[in-house]
Homo-oligomer: A and B are copies of this chain.
Amino acid sequence: MAQKPSVPRGTRDFSPVEMLRRNYIFDTIRRTFSLYGYLPLETPAMENLTTLLGKYGEEGDRLIFRILNSGNFLADVPLSALSSADIAAVTQNISEKGLRYDLTVPFARYVVQHRDEITFPFRRYQIQPVWRADKPQKGRYREFFQCDVDVIGSNSLLNEFELIRIIDRVFSELNINVIINVNNRKILAGIAATAGAGDRITDITVAIDKLEKIGSEGVRQELLQRGITPEVIRRLTPFLSLRGSAAEKIAGLKREIAASPEGEKGISEMEELFSYLDMEPSQAKVVFDLSLARGLNYYTGTIIEVKAADMAIGSICGGGRYDDLTGIFGLPGVSGVGVSFGADRIYDVMLNLGLFPEQTGSSTSVLVINFGGEELPELIKIAAALRGAGVATELFPDAVRLKKQFSYADTQHIPLVIIAGSEEIKASQATVRNMKTGEQTTVSLSALPEFIREAKNR
């Protein structure tokens, strides 16, 4: 008992100050999602293991937190498994549920389970924590939040366009300069096919993905190491050297790509997407990045990745189109597209670049000093009037020394303090102290709410 209690490794408490900042991010994201017609959805923290297992690869399965069955959970375990300490066999028998690992698989499960109640296209967003039994390290937690926004049941590229608009709007409201990189998986397939190595698309794109980091000669070496022939590399070279605007790259692709129906489809999709983007310009730079690969096995069309322009921290948002998300649960052929915002990294970027507005320091605007005398009924009325006017107000509950009450306002970053002792109350007035400037103003009680509202907005 003498030792301080703590939280499990890789998990965190969010203090009020952190919560106010996180809510500022979440509220901005949520407001923008709503503005584009996306609706909230939440799924339970626990899912059946039959839902989760086999969806994230072998490594993913290992990282799922499993819930011990309640009651006599050993009853169903074969004695042979127990006595041989056979982990796999025992685990299978003592646990049926796990904590969700991401928001995508629960979303697919939801769509299949509720397909008869859902109207398509189904636009949903989901902001919830996920859990992974990863080794905790700086910036990597075992509990962290994902903010996913997806539309399912529509092939239209207007969806991709609006998701890019959403990304642009969220980061512009948060004051984060970003670069939005876009590519299309079908184009990557077309390039690989043109080079005569359609079956080597994974090796080729993994190498190309490093273009920014290691340059074109580096990519060449990497491709050779992966057993791509010099002839294939020679045919890839024109694509790697495409430069310029999206329109210029599209023109270049059209010139260089061999007859590949998939590649041509990808090019026409990019052409259509950029035509929409031209109709409503973004604040952020939207770049057609031919080296962007991102989760190939999963995505089937457009892929999107967002980077902070002013801080090297990796991707802070990303996603793309998938043509068979719900197939794993027996509902094939439903196309969707979505992106996920990385709340923790966005938080880190904003903290690092000092982008949190001052108002996220505290949600309370006013502290009323408590003198503990006959003026108390009037102080209660003052607090009531301010709250009635929508001003978040605290009346200090204990009549302790003034110094302690002021110091409380200070550490809590409460910007305004109201001092109304019995003398002031008799004169029907109060003194308002601005905690930042130290400036004090005497105001009549009746004018107080209006004065505070104005002072608050200054």
Contact = CB atoms under 8 A, between A and B. Distances in A.
Interface of A: 1-8, 11-16, 19-20, 23, 34-37, 39-48, 50-51, 62-63, 65-68, 70, 72-75, 77, 79, 82-83, 85, 87, 90-91, 94-97, 99, 109-110, 112-114, 117, 119, 121, 123-124, 129, 131, 133, 142-143, 151, 154-156, 158-159, 162, 276, 279-280, 328-330, 362-364, 367, 370, 377, 380-381, 384, 387, 390-395, 397-398, 408, 411-412
B36 A114 contact: no
Nearest to A68: B66
Copies of this chain, whole number: 2
A11 B394 contact: no
A143 B97 CA distance: 13
30 contacts: A1-B328, A4-B329, A4-B330, A5-B48, A5-B51, A5-B113, A7-B44, A14-B41, A14-B42, A15-B114, A20-B39, A20-B40, A35-B390, A44-B143, A46-B131, A67-B67, A67-B99, A68-B68, A70-B133, A73-B87, A74-B85, A79-B85, A82-B82, A119-B411, A119-B412, A154-B398, A158-B370, A158-B395, A279-B381, A280-B381
A71 to B, nearest CB: 8
Contacts of A14: 40-43
Contacts of A62: 70
Contacts of A83: 79, 82-83
Contact of A48 (B8, B117, B408): B8
Contact of A95 (B68, B158, B395, B412): B68
B279 A380 contact: yes
A113 B3 CA distance: 9
A440 B151 CA distance: 29
Contact of A74 (B41, B46, B87): B87
Nearest to A362: B39
Given A4-B113, A68-B68, A112-B5, A44 B12 contact: yes
Contacts of A112: 4-5
B7 A121 contact: no
Contact of A65 (B67, B362, B397): B67
Given A114-B13, A114-B15, A37 B330 contact: no
B159 A45 contact: no
A35 B393 contact: yes
Contact of A41 (B13, B70, B411): B13
A360 to B, nearest CB: 11
A254 B429 CA distance: 39
Contacts of A151: 397
B397 A35 contact: no
Given A41-B14, A67-B68, A73-B87, A5 B109 contact: yes
Contacts of A51: 5
B156 A8 contact: no
Nearest to A73: B87
